[in-house]
Structure 1
Amino acid sequence: MYLNNTNIKLPEDPDTVVWKYLDLSKFLDLLLSNKLFMSRSDKFEDQYEGTFSEPTFEEIKKLAIDNPEFLNYYKTHREKVAVSSWHINEYESFAMWQIFTQNSEGLAIQSTIGRLQKAVNPEKNFDQYIGEVNYIDYKKEYIPFDDSFFPFLFKRKSFQYEREVRIITDTSQSNLKLNEGLKINVDINELIEKIYIHPKSENWYKKLIIELVERLGFGLEIEKSDLESDILI
């Protein structure tokens, strides 16, 4: 397990704030299992996940002429890699609420880069990394393939608004078959600095979240959304 790798870029300040926006069922699953769900990389909506830019693909094709398995490895590798996405932002994001939650319900976990690094417990059978995503022009720019995890740290420029940091788990050294993804062990109290409840949610929903967290025995700090502030006029 390698949560730190000199080839991977991360914000230098460990107090850099990151967010994860999720619905109540995924939040409950996190608290009940003490495990963080990670999606299989080829199950994301973006079909380019884990693939290469055009300049890199052309180079790989040349290398694969004498070794067809070389190209096939990269295609099947996507089925062995799982990703947990986090959003870098000093403040909560109205756009992220819109994209990742529905019906004015959902939560946002506020954490930091340092907390992510401490919260993820080492997995003996998997390689794990935390890295910041690079946003590039897939028609012109090159994605290095010195390490097999690099394709999962690059996305198209049209996704720049995500400002994404990723926890990446590579299970290719094990016999584990990923279906939708996998769950990894985490320290909940380290992972979660604060919880924000959807700014447009009703009072009964807010009370439900507070009661659920208390009943499950977590002393987590629950904040009112900054987007819910009273209008001053």
Structure 2
Amino acid sequence: MYLKNPSIKLPQDPDTIVWKYLDLSKFLELLLSKKLFMSRSDKFEDQYEGTFSEPTFEEIKKLSINNPKFLSYYKSHREKVVISSWHINEYESFAMWQIFTGNSEGLAIQSTIGRLENALIPDKKFKQYIGEVNYIDYKKEYIPFDDMFFPFLFKRKSFQYEREVRIISDISDSNIKINDGMKIDVDIDQLIEKIYIHPKSENWYKNLVIELVSKLGFDFTIEKSDLESDILI
């Protein structure tokens, strides 16, 4: 279990369903290594990732007048924070299939908030939290900065469709060096509740995934996505 932070928002129901959409190679790497890949926050496509809204930035600039290192620390801190993103949704998302699986050979991990919490294996070398992302107007709304995790739990409103929950690790106090990201230890059986195969995949692909998962010693329920059906009226 990870340490809870009462200041970080998370759905109260531990059975809230979350998803991770990925390709087969990344999925197999997860099973083989039993480690979850976390992306470095400043390597995300969104250039605002881990930054502040305009009202907050103005306040930080005032605080930095007599302490220039204050602002530079916030900028460099992004290099020391890694993130694993999950999508909250009761059902599969057609949009997420389109965005995160570039062909018909992707798959989706179905989990829950409670499973994510239980899957994390504590590591004394860094702090780690799970939080739900807040979507705000960066020109008008304020992001608190009394906790170093807060900038990574806010995104612009144009990203609301992501409905994101994040596992966030801060390695600032460790000697760990990262390039694009790092892997953290997880309990795979806790992390994964069910696997869904891409809606456009062939039956041979589903059978391949079932065989590979079985040979690796796991017995997850594996289903073909029902977003596309053979039954047409």
Using structure 2 for the length normalisation, give the TM-score. Answer: 0.98
After superposition, where does 1:1-233 map in structure 2 within 5 Å?
Answer: 2-233=2-233
**Structure 1 residue ranges without an equivalent (≥5):** none
Count of residues paired in the alignment:
233
In structure 2, distance between residues paired with 1:211 and 1:2: 32
Cα distance in 2 for partners of 1:19, 1:207 equals 21
Q: Distance in 1 between matches of 2:112 and 2:229?
A: 24
Q: Which moved more, 1:79-88 or 1:2-11?
A: 2-11
Deviation, structure 1 residue 204: 2.0
For the 8 Å contact 2:2–2:120, the answer to whether it is kept is no
Instruction: Specify the code of the residue in structure 1 equivalent to 2:11.
Output: P
Q: Given that residues 3 and 117 in structure 1 are in contact (C-alpha distance below 8 angstroms), is that contact kept between their aligned partners in structure 2?
A: no
| Unpaired segments ≥5 residues, structure 2 | none
The DSSP-based 3-state class of the residue aligned with 1:228 is coil
Larger CA deviation: 94-103 vs 217-226: 217-226
- Misfit runs of 4+, over 3 Å: none
Structure-2 separation of matches of 1:228 and 1:196:
12
Q: CA RMSD in A?
A: 1.0
The amino acid across from 1:136 in the alignment is I
Contact kept? 2:2, 2:117, Cα under 8 Å: no
1:97 to partner: Cα distance: 0.1
State the SS of the aligned residue for 2:212. Answer: helix
Aligned residue for 2:227, secondary structure, equals helix
SS at match of 1:204: helix
State, as a whole percentage, how many aligned pairs show the same letter: 83
Q: Tell me the distance in 2 between the aligned counterparts of 1:101 and 1:3.
A: 32
- Whether the aligned pair in 2 keeps the contact of 1:14 and 1:114 (CA below 8 Å) is yes
Amino acid corresponding to residue 231 of structure 2 in structure 1: I
CA–CA distance in structure 1, aligned partners of residues 21 and 133 of structure 2: 18
Deviation at 1:178, TM superposition (A): 1.4
How far apart, CA to CA, are the structure 2 residues paired with 1:102 and 1:201? 12
Q: Output the TM-score relative to the length of structure 1.
A: 0.98
